[in-house]
Structure 1
Amino acid sequence: MSTTPDYSQDETARKQEKYWLYILSNTKPNGPLYLGDAACLLSRMNEHHAGLRRDYAHYHRLDRLVYFEVWSDHDKFVARLRRVRNWPRDMRLLLIESLNPEWDDLLPQFLAEQSTKSQIQEQKGREKAA
């Protein structure tokens, strides 16, 4: 019997995980920005909206999701996160405006997409069971 731990399951789980980089803002046009990261954007946004996280976003009432990215490769995600964190504010503003020029709250769109994806997965699960 081998005493070497089996990391193959950990590697498989790690490859299937998603990593989210997101930016929050408020309704002020030149207001503060919050750059965050999460393993699950939906639960993290729930935490922000419920006031469970007593952080910069909470104290500045940053509740609008104005930008997000999803990554499946942890190493690339960490590199991207470090890069964006080191950017000056001007670069972050350009990043947001490149995909969200109206500074809309993207959370409703994100929730709708997640709902659609979960419905598709449920349908596939029912098809496999049948």
Structure 2
Amino acid sequence: MSFFIYILTNPARTVLYIGVTNDLERRLYEHGQGLGEAGKFTGRYQCNLLIYFEISPDAVQAIAREKQLKNWSRAKKEWLIGTLNPNWEPIDPRTWNG
């Protein structure tokens, strides 16, 4: 099973959210539908545009990478996003060929 570390942003590209999941399409659907507890970060800031993701072979590595990215500065996160997606275009994981 693969795990995904992902970064979402809002339409204005002013907020970044970093998460981890074992089913990226399902998780993006949940973010987009506002599922889960009301008032959570992604709903409050409308973070539902996937702009970056990585694949990890196991949960332990994925969680460690998520924590690492969360501790990075905004500038370093922007640099990372730019390496995969320089224009910050929303990514559809079903059609992405990176």
> Which residue identity does 1:20 align to in structure 2?
F
Give the count of matched residue pairs: 94
Q: Counterpart of 2:5?
A: 21
- Superposition deviation, residue 82 in structure 1: 1.7
Q: Counterpart of 1:44?
A: 27
- Which protein has greater RCO, CA pairs closer than 8 Å, 6+ apart? 2
Q: Percent identity?
A: 31
Higher helix share: 1
> Which residue identity does 2:64 align to in structure 1?
A
Asked if structure 1 preserves the Cα contact closer than 8 Å seen for 2:20 and 2:62, the reply is no
CA distance in 2, matches of 1:79, 1:51: 26
CA distance in 2, matches of 1:63, 1:85: 17
Q: Let me know the Cα RMSD of the aligned residues.
A: 1.4
Pick the aligned partner of 2:55 from 70, 75, 90. Answer: 70
Between Structure 1 and Structure 2, whose CA radius of gyration is higher? 1
Structure 1 unaligned spans of 5+:
1-16, 114-130
Q: Would you say 1:83 and 2:74 are equivalent positions? A: no
The CA deviation string for residues 60-85 of structure 1, in whole angstroms up to 9 with x for no partner, is 11121000111113332222122111
Structure 2 unaligned spans of 5+:
none
- Superposition deviation, residue 39 in structure 1: 1.4
| 1:1-130 correspondence to structure 2 within 5 Å | 17-29=1-13, 31-53=14-36, 54=38, 55-107=40-92, 110-112=93-95
TM-score by length of 1: 0.66
- Superposition deviation, residue 18 in structure 1: 1.2
Higher strand share: 2
- Superposition deviation, residue 21 in structure 1: 0.6
- 2:94 alignment partner, SS class: helix
TM-score by length of 2: 0.86
